[in-house]
Structure 1
Amino acid sequence: MTMKRADNAISDLLRALQIDVITAFKTQVTTDWVDLDYVPEYNKLYYIVEGEGWLKVDGHEMYPAPGELCLMPAYTRQSYSVLANKRPFLKYWCHFTASIGPFDLFQWIGVPLKISIADQEEMTALFKLLVSLRASGSIISRLREKSIMLEIIARYLEHVPITILQHRSEELKRIQFIQEYIDGHMAESLRIEDMAKAAHLHPNYFIAYFKKHFGVPPLKYVSRKRADKAKFLLATTTHSIKEIADQIGFKETNHFAKFFRKETGQSPTEYRAQNSG
């Protein structure tokens, strides 16, 4: 699988990303801060403000310094402790899940476990807001904390190389094959039976498998992809509405127009008028 194709597959999976912040605090660690060889079902981020300490993730030891952000992924064997005769950490920290289908984001991708933060003022402000939102009981805070958590994760990932974990590569190949089959047969009817047969899966299992990994049923995903392609063609080409309808599997222009309005809230002509260059 090429890097570009793998990136495309991961990008599509990210549409189903579900973020849940479990807890977030700013803590002055005490001298009895220690836990060894446990495997949490959630991710942890430590943003070190002051002090020293020791972390271990699946055999990889770290001694983070102030201004560094550390990731301890879910389902990895972890340990942590203070260091003798050293000032313990003052740190922002959070526990969270980042689910894509049946797996956590960091069960799909591999990233460095520690980075230095260039804009420490910005990162401090993000964590301070996350802690404040988590302490609130309002519905709006639950929504906003997901947004801030996503922003922190994005800040982390934009500064590190991302690789697809080897034990997930076969799974990703099947997902990528399904994506490419749908893209390559957009002008056809795209029945569940045909997609399942191409993926060598029973139709009932295919539906469950697809929803588990993409977060939506197959036909809803196909509709979304058809709408995306139609929007792209309307905005970037001079193809007629009939030609675009043909390319995404509609033989009748009026059926395409009804579909497009349902998906976007606009007619194809209205969308083109507002979005074409």
Structure 2
Amino acid sequence: MKLINEQIIQNYLQQFHSEVTLAAYAEDGPGWREESFIPDFFRLCLIERGTAFVEIDGQSYVARQGQLVFLPAGVRQAISNCGEENYGRYWCHFRINAGDMKLFEALELPFSIPVVSVETVRQLFSKIITALSQDSFVSALRVRGAFLELISYYFERCTLREEALGQGESYRKLKDVFAYIEAHLDQVIHIEELAKVAYLHPNYFIEFFKGMVGSPPIHYINQLKLERAKQLLESSDDYVARIAMQVGMQNHYLSRLFKQYTGMSPSRYRQIYRRKVWSTVE
């Protein structure tokens, strides 16, 4: 079983929605200063040249060449060129929904990460800038694709404060709910049971779960059951009806849900998986 924090983060990122509003390259000379303000957007910046002094909510940082810098929304901040050469950076502004903002705050994301391949990150910014300037029906998809690569690059290389998620009664309740679901995947799980585990009214529990995890409880449970079914199809010779029993579903319901989820029947999935495995062995 995955750690609860890892489950929460993974589910949030699977549901992650963002909107890139602006992106560009900017360069400012010695003495430049951006006035203190509270943005309603997040910023990612690749520092290409120079050094900047950054103040965020009373904390001081230095942005240096070769860093990817993350600036949060909703807190006062100011930036100034503190060197004797121009301060050059690629930047993009983006917004996320309220639920994702809570996760970002809880993780205490780092101010910056060192960039190993500057050219890779530079190209991602360039793709975003180019796509934003194009008048095409696929421009939004190109912006989103490049931005998701960029934010993934940042997440993969920063140390997340996962332990911060474990603080508070809400996360303790969710931990108990996750444990109950894992222990009862071979049964039909009712919302009323989960609400009891969390000591919440069933109607409120659904909103609580969706707000914490990013998806409704039934959707989350079905995903876990289907992942378990995939594992059993890969590792055993059990009939599909037997596997359905092991994940607490009727045979016809598992087959219908499995096809919706993967685009193929359980039997076809097993056939393709084993053919792929044998071809790898050969």
The alignment's TM-score, normalised by the length of structure 1, stands at 0.87
Which shows bigger deviation, 94-103 or 48-57? 94-103
1:159 equivalenced with 2:151 (yes/no): no
Gapped regions of structure 2 (runs ≥ 5): 278-282
Residue deviations 1:48-89 (CA, integer Å, cap 9, x gap): 112332111233322322222211122333121233x73341
1:255 equivalenced with 2:244 (yes/no): no
Deviation at 1:113, TM superposition (A): 0.9
Aligned pairs for 1:82-97 (under 5 A) are 82-83=81-82, 86-97=84-95
| C-alpha RMSD of the superposition | 2.5
1:33 equivalenced with 2:33 (yes/no): yes
Q: How far apart are the structure 2 equivalents of 1:180 and 1:141?
A: 43
Aligned pairs for 1:1-277 (under 5 A) are 4-29=3-28, 32-36=32-36, 38-83=37-82, 86-99=84-97, 101=99, 103-164=101-162, 166=164, 169-170=167-168, 171-250=170-249, 252-276=250-274, 277=277
The amino acid of 1:236's aligned partner reads S
Cα pair 1:130 1:149 within 8 Å, conserved: yes
Say which structure is richer in helix: 2
Gapped regions of structure 1 (runs ≥ 5): none
Residue deviations 1:208-245 (CA, integer Å, cap 9, x gap): 22233333322222222222221121122333323211
Cα pair 1:108 1:165 within 8 Å, conserved: no
Cα pair 1:25 1:94 within 8 Å, conserved: yes
The amino acid of 1:265's aligned partner reads G
Paired residue for 2:280? none
Cα pair 1:53 1:88 within 8 Å, conserved: no
Q: How far apart are the structure 1 equivalents of 2:214 and 2:266?
A: 27
SS, match of residue 64 in structure 1: strand
Q: How far apart are the structure 2 equivalents of 1:119 and 1:17?
A: 25
Q: How far apart are the structure 1 equivalents of 2:106 and 2:21?
A: 21
Deviation at 1:92, TM superposition (A): 0.6
Which shows bigger deviation, 235-244 or 88-97? 235-244
Q: 1:172 to 1:23 in 2, by over 3 A?
A: farther
Q: 1:258 to 1:154 in 2, by over 3 A?
A: closer
The amino acid of 1:192's aligned partner reads I
Deviation at 1:44, TM superposition (A): 1.0
Cα pair 2:28 2:88 within 8 Å, conserved: yes
Q: 1:259 to 1:71 in 2, by over 3 A?
A: closer
Q: How far apart are the structure 2 equivalents of 1:58 and 1:237?
A: 55
Cα pair 2:42 2:71 within 8 Å, conserved: yes
Q: How far apart are the structure 1 equivalents of 2:34 and 2:104?
A: 24
Residue deviations 1:122-154 (CA, integer Å, cap 9, x gap): 111111111111222433121221221121122
Q: How far apart are the structure 2 equivalents of 1:242 and 1:254?
A: 8
Deviation at 1:32, TM superposition (A): 4.9
Q: How far apart are the structure 2 equivalents of 1:64 and 1:259?
A: 49
Q: 1:215 to 1:115 in 2, by over 3 A?
A: closer
SS, match of residue 22 in structure 1: strand
Deviation at 1:26, TM superposition (A): 0.8
Q: 1:230 to 1:161 in 2, by over 3 A?
A: same
Cα pair 1:21 1:145 within 8 Å, conserved: yes
Number of aligned positions between the proteins: 273
